[in-house]
């Protein structure tokens, strides 16, 4: 017991916890992927998608007409154009702060997430929902949700990298909470618009979280090692 506590004390406990959470997110993605591949999620996916549409007219989503436009605006927050512009804005900020390590991490996180999403879509090749009309344009396979995965990876990376530049706990908490809120509503909007099955979004959230946390863990490990090697 004592040797175990000594081992933990000699290591970065936060890093260990984050790696454990990242591994859990990766395991969750694998679990959802397996269930989807075996067809175990079709019934629940179908039920949720149809529950978000008027029973008399599947082409009409529930809620007022203006809410449909809101959903399109929200879903755009996870699109390539918005994420690219946001990434450039955040990259510019960290470069002004001369946080060059953070800048490199942002590039790795954004490019890596987009590449991984594309490869996973090609690998699984799951068709888009065909139960209801799509209320947004789509061009790729369904699993995992690229909007959910990439926005999760990117916005969480924004939050963690910007939080590392601030010492105030309130600011750090606000950045993380904002990122989580954004990725949640983006993912939900994809199902509401009928362009993704719910499990596509769940898998996207899991994969995006795993990637963002692994990237953050790598950053923390590098920073800690650098401080120990160059204490001044």
Catalytically active residues, by annotation: 147, 196
User: Directed axis angle between helix 65-76 and helix 169-192, to 10°?
Assistant: 120
> Quick check: 86 and 158 in contact, CB under 8 A?
yes
Q: Is the dihedral of CA 219, 183, 198, 109 positive or negative?
A: negative
How far CA 77 is from CA of 84, 85, 157, 205, 225, in Å, comes to: 10, 10, 15, 15, 35
How far CA 223 is from CA of 102, 157, 175, in Å, comes to: 10, 16, 21
CA distance 64 to 69: 10
Burial of 184 (0-12, 13-18, 19+ CB in 10 A): middle
Neighbours of 51 (CB within 10 A): 10
Q: DSSP letter for 159, please.
A: H
């Amino acid at each position: 017991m004592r040797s175990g506590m000594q081992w933990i004390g000699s290591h970065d406990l936060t890093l260990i916890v984050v790696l454990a959470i990242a591994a859990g997110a990766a395991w969750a993605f694998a679990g959802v992927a397996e269930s989807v591949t075996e067809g175990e999620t079709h019934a629940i996916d179908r039920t949720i998608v149809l529950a978000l549409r008027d029973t008399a007219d599947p082409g009409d989503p529930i809620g007022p007409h203006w809410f449909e436009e809101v959903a399109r605006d929200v879903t755009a927050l996870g699109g390539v154009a918005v994420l690219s512009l946001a990434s450039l804005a955040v990259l510019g900020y960290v470069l002004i702060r001369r946080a060059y390590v953070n800048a490199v991490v942002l590039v790795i996180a954004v490019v890596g997430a987009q590449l991984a999403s594309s490869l996973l879509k090609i690998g699984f090749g799951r068709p888009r929902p065909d139960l209801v009309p799509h209320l947004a344009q789509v061009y790729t396979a369904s699993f995992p949700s690229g909007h959910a995965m990439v926005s999760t990876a990117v916005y969480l990376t924004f939050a963690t990298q910007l939080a590392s530049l601030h010492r105030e706990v309130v600011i750090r908490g606000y950045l993380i909470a904002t990122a989580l809120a954004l990725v949640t509503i983006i993912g939900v909007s994809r199902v509401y618009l009928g362009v993704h099955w719910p499990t596509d979004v769940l898998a996207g959230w899991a994969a995006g979280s795993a990637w963002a946390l692994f990237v953050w863990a790598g950053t923390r490990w590098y920073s800690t090692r650098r401080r120990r090697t160059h204490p001044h």
